[in-house]
Amino acid sequence: MASHGFWSLGGDNAGTNTGSQSPSTPRAWCQAAAQKLSGGIGSKLCALLNVGEVEKTADPAAKQPPQTAAGSCGCNKPCTCTKPDVVFSDLYSTDLLPALDGDTKTMTFLQEVVDLLLAYIVESFDRETKVIDFHYPNELLQLNNWELQDEPATLDDILISCRATLKYAIKTAHPRYFNQLSTGLDMVGLAADWLTSTANTNMFTYEVAPVFVLLEYVTLKKMREIIGWPDGRGDGIFSPGGAISNMYAMLLARFKMFPEVKEKGMSSVPRLAAFTSEHVRPQKINDQTHFSIKKGAAALGIGTESVISLCCLVLVQGFVPFFVSATAGTTVYGAFDPLIAISDICRKYNVWMHVDGAWGGSLLMSGRHRWKLDGVERANSVTWNPHKMMSVPLQCSALLVREEGLMQNCNQMHACYLFQQDKHYDLSYDTGDKALQCGRHVDIFKLWLMWRAKGTIGFEAQIDKCLELSEYLYNKIKDREGYQMVFDGKPQHTNVCFWYLPPGIRYMEDKEEQKKRLHKVAPVIKARMMEYGTTMVSYQPQGDKVNFFRMVISNPAATFEDIDFLIEEIERLGHDL
């Protein structure tokens, strides 16, 4: 078994499941950590590992407010430093900075919060802990007092709320969490997110976010170079997610063809048609492109009926084609559209070509897999979500645009209270007027800092590993008894779609009855996964196909052993169905 780095401190069996799912299970590596880590941090982490066990108590007197004895700092060695006596049950948020003499109380309070977070991080990577401590909504509402009140809560209550929130949160960093396209937790990215929140600024002008604006400029240019646009020229922006990035692309395509629409509206243009080409595998299995294209059409006043999903582009009477969204890595099957062929058609009819690479765009970082996006350099715009395959903390989605200045012309409104034209620096770094948002979150720093920490080769290795794991899963189950692949052939991305047929329906002669019963299998197994807390995998129907598992791998913490565990767990939880 490959080493897990820090997590292997407890011995060779650190990555195995002993069968216990209790978050309070003793961990052998705690003792090793206490010895190896300076400053007593190992002992502190081990002591904090029961952080998630605090639940609401009806008796306020039963609360144990965190206290620290004067003269003791927790260093676990002789020292002269002291940690002040702080009783959080007597303190409120108004006692923290900017209150006078609030610095010590603030630092002590925030240290308590950091201790909670560090313990949660450690738990999240421990395979002996649950992925989820599942409760039904009505139960969870009753377990804790979540209601907002007129009177302020004490800082002790605030810490209890923090503990409860983490206790019932999904451990998305857990090596056996496979439920979404965005999984895992990168430590450098997390540190960057903490720094970003501490800086607490807005991305609309250079004057309020000088470093972040420059980092966005540098990073977007690098991403455009990787796409293949000459010298990285063009434009781009980080948006709240792939759906918004796709809508930006549609907005730009409409403006490019009909600039008058900005002032005169949709009544000034003919009826438009946007195409979302479906990828058709050799086995004639269609995979829908992302729903965000229809959402964008609805939001922009184009209408969902103007979004046409076809296997090939056709001219529709009464419509003017203006936009084609090709998909690089579909959400369900992980399929890639033939970008070169689509770009030829777009050029022939002078239609904007967009590549939705929210899921598959990160394969551009891999020398082994970037061929799947051959032709992406011909696109007018590309959506690329680093918060998926690159495991950048949510949210981090980029829209890259080939034509420089188009975003500014399309979206600027010349708000003079923000974008004064007589500022003393280069106004091109005031990015706010090219965005639809005024307030824009700083999403760039976590990606930039992770890129600095890993280098391009580090991201490449991370992405290649995830694809190796998906191929391993495919090879394990394609001929395994009780499993049936949704489509034949090796997946193009990390999506592995399959049915598990329990022994009770495996050999049924009545195929219609088998299909009805198979439709119920994945939901029941998924529910049991969540109730036991052992793992999480998504499922869904697709067209005329009954519910199947859609396994996706983007978590850098996952290993071959975790894939083996998943297979065995599906069989354990579904054998009686």
Distances in Å between the Cα of 142 and the Cα atoms of 58, 135, 165, 257 are: 11, 10, 14, 55
389, 408, 442 - which closes a domain: 442
φ and ψ of 429, to 5 deg: -90, 0
pLDDT in tens, the chain (577 residues): 343 333 333 334 433 444 444 433 434 445 544 454 444 555 555 554 454 443 433 344 444 444 444 444 545 455 555 566 789 999 999 999 999 999 999 999 999 999 999 999 999 999 999 999 999 999 999 998 899 999 999 999 999 999 999 999 999 999 999 999 999 999 999 999 999 999 999 999 999 999 999 999 999 999 999 999 999 999 999 999 999 999 999 999 999 999 999 999 999 999 999 998 664 343 334 454 558 888 998 999 899 888 887 654 556 678 899 999 999 999 999 999 999 999 999 999 999 999 999 999 999 999 999 999 999 999 999 999 999 999 999 999 999 999 999 999 999 998 888 888 888 999 889 998 999 998 999 999 999 999 999 999 999 999 999 999 999 999 999 999 999 999 999 999 999 999 999 999 999 999 999 999 999 999 999 999 999 999 999 999 998 999 999 999 999 999 999 999 999 999 999 999 9
Burial of 151 from C-beta contacts in 10 A (0-12 / 13-18 / 19+):
exposed
Cα 157 from Cα 153, distance rounded (Å):
6
Nearest in space to 291 (alpha carbons), one of 305, 303, 276, 301: 276
Same domain, 387 and 477: no
**DSSP category for residue 265:** -
Kindly report the CATH number assigned to the domain that includes residue 470: 3.90.1150.170
Same domain, 484 and 553: yes
Kindly report the CATH number assigned to the domain that includes residue 416: 3.40.640.10
Inside any domain, residue 93? yes
Domain of residue 89, residue span: 6-158
442, 473, 489 - which closes a domain: 442
Q: Residues, the chain, total?
A: 577
Inside any domain, residue 232? yes
Cα 77 from Cα 56, distance rounded (Å):
35
For 410-422, the DSSP string reads HH----TTT--TT
Give the number of domains in the chain.
3
Inside any domain, residue 173? no
Strands 381-384, 397-401: pairing is: antiparallel
Residue for token pair 């609360």: 63
Same domain, 437 and 468: no
Percent helix, strand and coil across the chain, each rounded to 5?
Answer: 45, 10, 45
Its sign, for the CA torsion 360, 362, 364, 368, is negative
Same domain, 65 and 138: yes
Same domain, 487 and 357: no
Same domain, 267 and 126: no
Inside any domain, residue 168? no
Same domain, 244 and 282: yes
Same domain, 391 and 506: no
Q: pTM score, two decimals?
A: 0.85
442, 469, 486 - which closes a domain: 442
